[in-house]
Amino acid sequence: MDLDVFVSAHRAEWDRLDALLRRQRRLTGAEADELVALYQRTATHLSLIQSSAPDPQLTGRLSQLVARARSAVTGTRRASWRDVTRFLTHGFPAAVYRSRHWWVPTALISTAVAVLLGWWIGTHPEVQSSIAAPDELRALTRPGGEYETYYSSHPAASFAAQVWTNNAQAAAMCLVLGVFLCLPVIWILFQNMLNVGVGLGLMSSAGRLDTFLGLILPHGLLELTAVFVAAGTGLRLGWTVIDPGPRSRRTALAEEGRAALGMAIGLALVLFVSGAIEGFVTPSGLPTWARITIGVVAELAFLAYVYVLGGRAARVGETGDLEEIERSAAVPTAA
């Protein structure tokens, strides 16, 4: 592309669009139609320049012009309760459903790793001795020991808030750090599974596996599922950097990144529920079967929410991204 010739051919259109934007409140019907047409044309010009003959000064000017025109054409829009409802019933569950091919294998592999670590630790006394001294291990695993009192060591409300904050941070880190070629997500996952494996191995070696499962399952099913969803989404985001598919890398990252941001908000709500269970149900005096039943019901409710509502929304085209009118103007990419 000869940039000078291109600018000479279209400068008048850009100047005209700028002039219409300066007096947009006093436009006639014909001028408003002209503004829309010039906005679409200028967006295409911007795409051609970015892909064929990038010039920082010209690109900056046209980007600003396109942004002003888009604001004038689409207008401003305030969030409402309708947006919240749509997000909870369509956007978030659809985004989780669409990522299932990433987070379901992540959950299965991570669980297998935790079980293998637990078996290795539980059957090898030398590994246990490398974790802590025998007296410290007995203090952890004995009846009324630290593994049991951990869940009742603080007031339920403050404990639930602390757990929610920590888990939400871990989930957000998985979502955000996935863009660094997946490696930080794998490390965060391993740390979580190592913690589970250590508890599993030590308590099983002490003959108290039933107590351990009774403590971790009520909240852990939903909590770990949320972490697996976050990790799977982070891995998907990282893979987008490696292989964006038919989209440009910039477009693919923008779309997947916006969906991941929405998932961070949704998963924070899911983790709030698991934190409440961990703070109020896990240390309660309810029978073990009742506590585990509450955890199983919460997990099944979340899976039904994802696969029923999310699957239905995904099949009609919902992706978890912003609505089309809220996105940056989509412009064609030159071949």
The CA-atom distances, in angstroms, between 301 and each of 130, 145, 280, 289, 308 are 40, 33, 19, 18, 10
The CA-atom distances, in angstroms, between 216 and each of 64, 240, 241, 276 are 53, 34, 36, 13
Which pLDDT score is estimated for 326?
46
Which pLDDT score is estimated for 325?
43
Look at residue 83 and tell me whether its pLDDT is greater than 90.
Answer: no
- Report yes or no: 219 and 277 within 8 Å, Cβ to Cβ: yes
- Report yes or no: 168 and 224 within 8 Å, Cβ to Cβ: no
**Top-confidence residue, 175 or 296:** 296
Please tell me which of 30-34, 178-182, 254-258, 328-332 the model is most confident about, judged by mean pLDDT: 30-34
Cα–Cα distance for residue pair 182/187, rounded to 1 Å: 9
Helix (H) or strand (E) holding 68: helix 56-74
What is the rounded average pLDDT for all residues in the chain? Answer: 85
Look at residue 330 and tell me whether its pLDDT is greater than 60.
Answer: no
Q: Which residue has the tokens 């808030």?
A: 161
Which pLDDT score is estimated for 79?
55
Look at residue 42 and tell me whether its pLDDT is greater than 70.
Answer: yes
For the chain, how big is the Rg over CA atoms in Å? 27
Predicted confidence (pLDDT) per residue in 114-160, tens digit: 999 999 999 999 999 999 898 999 988 998 888 888 887 767 777 67
Q: What is the mean pLDDT of residues 153-181?
A: 78
Which pLDDT score is estimated for 75?
61
> What's the angle, vertex CA 285, arms to CA 284 and CA 287, rounded to 5?
110
Q: Residue 223: pLDDT band by 50, 70, 90 thresholds?
A: very high
Q: Residue 29: pLDDT band by 50, 70, 90 thresholds?
A: confident
- Non-local (6+) Cβ contacts of 273 within 8 A are 222, 298
Predicted confidence (pLDDT) per residue in 87-119, tens digit: 889 889 999 999 999 999 999 999 999 999 999
Look at residue 334 and tell me whether its pLDDT is greater than 70.
Answer: no
- Count of other CB atoms within 10 angstroms of residue 177: 18
The CB-based long-range contact list for 81-90 (8 Å cut-off, 24+ gap) reads 87/262, 87/265, 87/266, 88/266, 89/309, 89/313, 90/309, 90/313, 90/318
- Report yes or no: 82 and 88 within 8 Å, Cβ to Cβ: no
Which pLDDT score is estimated for 78?
58
* DSSP 8-state symbol, 192: H
pTM of structure:
0.72
Q: Residue 237: pLDDT band by 50, 70, 90 thresholds?
A: confident
- Here the tokens at position 69 are 């025109």
Q: Residue 77: pLDDT band by 50, 70, 90 thresholds?
A: low
